[in-house]
Amino acid sequence: MSKQMGTPWWRGAVIYQVYPRSFLDSNGDGIGDLPGILAKLDYIASLGVDGLWVSPFFKSPMADFGYDIADYRDVDPLFGTLADFDALVAKAHALGLKVMIDQVLSHTSVEHAWFKQSRENRSNAKADWYVWADAKPDGSPPNNWLSIFGGVAWQWEPRRGQYYLHNFLTAQPDLNFHHPEVQQAALDNLRFWLDRGVDGFRLDAINFCFHDRALRDNPAKPPALRVGRGFSPDNPYAFQYHHHNNTQPENLVFLERIRALLDEYPDVAALGEISSEDSLATMAEYTRGRRLHMGYSFELLTEDFSARYLRETVARLEASMSEGWPCWAISNHDVQRVATRWGGANPPPQLAPMLCALVASLRGSVCVYQGEELGLTEAEVPFELLQDPYGISFWPTFKGRDGCRTPMPWDGGVNAGFSTGTPWLPLANAHHALSVAKQESQPDSTLNQYRRFLAWRAQQPALRAGDIRFLDTAEPILAFTRSLGDQTLLCVFNLCAEPQRFPLPAAHASQPIQTIGTAHVDASTLQLPGYGAAFLR
């Protein structure tokens, strides 16, 4: 529970996302691991965050780097052991950090024992645990559904003489959640980790659990609307409205079963990753009543960095989310790093601290992606060193996700302290100058500004749990108030590199109590430096 607010720990929390492969390698094999995370928990705690979310570390053939799970209840040897995970949880809790882990419920790996049994024939005990369908009379797939990673979403399986559904890679077959035993097995796997002491789950692609039983074709989308967050510009996935292969009404009942399970444990939370035709509406629906605690979408993971877009996006969610609680992110392991996406090839150093303050001031919880606190830019990975199958398939128009997954720079040593071996992805040259060790010694580094702001935010009830109300401002100024009880804060952000003047409302015409950059008030006008921010009572 939050010591100050007396509310659940996750409400208004800042959650630090760890991508294990790229955090710290403890054994010299070039791949980060659980002991590496354990060794850096003090660093994570020093940021002032409330908890960490650990991306998949489960047993997997790594076709999609752990999002293709072969055993939900074991740690892949690349990352360590269950004992390592238990030690990580114990130390995190001792440091006052909560631990959330990814759960990938909608699909498994082709190497999972369930799928190996299911594919053998049409009469075994798990024959209906996956989405199987007969070919059309001409041998083609049963409908027009497409995979997010390109091409048709159906793969022929000669053992059964049927197609199986894969919304992602062919190596990631979709489970059939219409089968009650599949639902129960998924809940049992969640219970396994709850019993080991985790404080919550980030539920990957949670709106993909159910499919349309009738396997109806998805309707075509007009060319002008063929845009999508994280999609290659030439990915045919954007050519359809995805009305039938995800976000089905049956999913709501299953979410209530997940919530009932979590309610058996004290102060745990479920954060659902949602990517649908209207993700904001789905977030509101999925967090209504006794369903998910929080919703997480890709709305702020776009290239649109304008006051208008930010204001309209958050306001639209606020208008629809009457009961639930949002969780915001501006970077993660699937999209270009925000410093580059919103700041260009050479982002100014003051941009990253302002972005931290901005996202951490919205109503909701926050996910911070590892390296965001350092201002890391997107890395350029040459084609011959790419690992991401998505990027390899769509090169060169889309370079995939490797550029945001390169290793953390810790110090000035070999491979910036990430590994004594050859890293699985190369470290970006520009990242050496942004290492943790270098920034630790600079009082006004991005890292230390992050720490100072999060420490201050933790003492502001209105920022953690208050209401939000936007002011009508012209570009490039974004302004809103956060209010809770007797506290109201005016939060003002300059989204461009040039200094800006903002006439203050009479109620807030005083000097700022917190700034990013040298903001100050002169004759009831707020003077903001480029990419500056100010907070006023």
- Residue 11 near residue 2, CB atoms below 8 Å: yes
Provide the pLDDT for residue 125: 98
pLDDT greater than 50 at residue 11: yes
pLDDT class for 228, splitting at 50, 70, 90?
low
Q: What are φ and ψ of residue 347, in 5° steps?
A: -65, 140
Residue 87, CB half-sphere, CA atoms under 13 Å: how many?
13
Which amino acid is located at 473 in the chain?
T
| Mean pLDDT of all residues in 411-427 | 97
Higher per-residue confidence, 3 vs 374: 374
Provide the pLDDT for residue 229: 56
- Indicate where the chain has its CATH 3.20.20.80 domain(s): 14-109+179-457
- Indicate where the chain has its CATH 2.60.40.1180 domain(s): 467-536
Provide the pLDDT for residue 414: 92
| Mean pLDDT of all residues in 313-318 | 95
| Residue in the block written with tokens 């049963």 | 142
State how far the Cα of 193 lies from the Cα of 199, in Å rounded to an integer. 9
CATH architecture of the domain formed by 14-109+179-457 = Alpha-Beta Barrel (3.20)
| Mean pLDDT of all residues in 490-511 | 95
| Mean pLDDT of all residues in 144-173 | 97
Percent share of the chain, pLDDT over 90: 93
Provide the pLDDT for residue 5: 46
Provide the pLDDT for residue 6: 64
Q: How far is CA 349 from CA 339, 352, 445, in A?
A: 9, 7, 8
Provide the pLDDT for residue 232: 59
- In sequence order, the 6+-apart residues with CB closer than 8 A to the CB of 65 are 21, 56, 387, 388
Q: Cite the active site residues.
A: 204, 264
Provide the pLDDT for residue 3: 42
pTM of the model: 0.96
pLDDT class for 116, splitting at 50, 70, 90?
very high
pLDDT in tens, 40-97: 999 999 999 999 999 999 999 999 999 999 999 999 999 999 999 999 999 999 999 9
Per the rule left: phi > 0, alpha: psi between -120 and 50, beta: everything else, 310 is alpha
Single out the residue of 345, 371, 375 nearest to residue 425, CA to CA: 371
pLDDT in tens, 166-195: 999 999 999 999 999 999 999 999 999 999
Burial 319-350 (b: 16+ CB within 10 A, else e): ebbeebbbbbbbbbbbbbbbbbbbbeeebeeb
pLDDT class for 234, splitting at 50, 70, 90?
confident
pLDDT greater than 90 at residue 405: yes
Single out the residue of 319, 518, 53, 267 nearest to residue 533, CA to CA: 518
pLDDT greater than 80 at residue 315: yes
Do strands 269-274 and 200-204 pair parallel, antiparallel, or not at all (unpaired)?
Answer: parallel
Higher per-residue confidence, 233 vs 388: 388
| Mean pLDDT of all residues in 266-285 | 95
DSSP 72: E
CATH homologous superfamily of domain 467-536?
Golgi alpha-mannosidase II (2.60.40.1180)
CA torsion angle for 80, 86, 89, 94 (degrees, to 10)? -120
Average pLDDT of the chain is: 96
Which stretch of 1-10, 197-206, 412-421, 422-431 has the lowest confidence by average pLDDT?
A: 1-10
